[in-house]
Amino acid sequence: MDEKTEELRDLFVEVTDEETVTERQEEGPGSLTDADEAAVADRIAAVVAEMRERYDFVTDLDADTLVTVVRGFYDGAADAAIADTLDTDPDTVFRARMDLHLLDDDDTEFPFDLADLRDARADADGSDAATLADTLDADPETVERALLVAETQKAIRRVSGRFRSEFEDAIPDAALSVRLTESAQEDGLEEAAEDIETDTKF
């Protein structure tokens, strides 16, 4: 037990006149927010509706299903797990995520660089996946998936990630995670700055 922990324990004993933590005190604090789940779902659905008006979605999943895809993505669930919940297949979930601009790091992992795919497509004047697969020495299914990822990246850049930001604003835990990350970065910069010795003498 470090010095800070000892001080906190002593303060606890002094204030509560107890030396042990009761069962009630051990209970988890639950969610950091008590957001109305229905209100969260409505906000996500509103973003989904706006995106559907703007883009031609690849999938024809209904609004409630797409809300479930968004929540599953931010809960860290894999496509297969989300698919099980929705009684569909992982490829459909993947395509729905692309519709919703929900990319993760694994989505860009291919046996070729996406830049090479773009170059090959430009050189071949927009050839189909089968033709590009021959050029890249890959299977057509992988190339088709990569093309969808590349198109999603382009769509995200065009709106500066706006819709993903709106999803994160709608989901309390997602927004909190973003804020904590930014806070940690700022704290790290401040700590680094404090360790730098500056000499203002010339």
With the C-alpha atoms ordered 187, 191, 194, 196, is the resulting torsion angle positive or negative?
A: negative
Angle at 159 between CA 189 and CA 39, to 5 degrees: 85
Cα–Cα distance, 28 to 159 (Å, whole number): 39
In the three-class reduction of DSSP (H, G, I as helix; E, B as strand; rest coil), residue 65 is classed as helix
- pLDDT at residue 164 greater than cutoff 70: yes
In sequence order, the 6+-apart residues with CB closer than 8 A to the CB of 164 are 101, 102, 156
> Per-residue pLDDT tens for 33-77?
455 889 999 999 999 999 999 999 999 999 999 999 999 999 999
Query: Which has the higher per-residue pLDDT, 164 or 123?
Result: 164
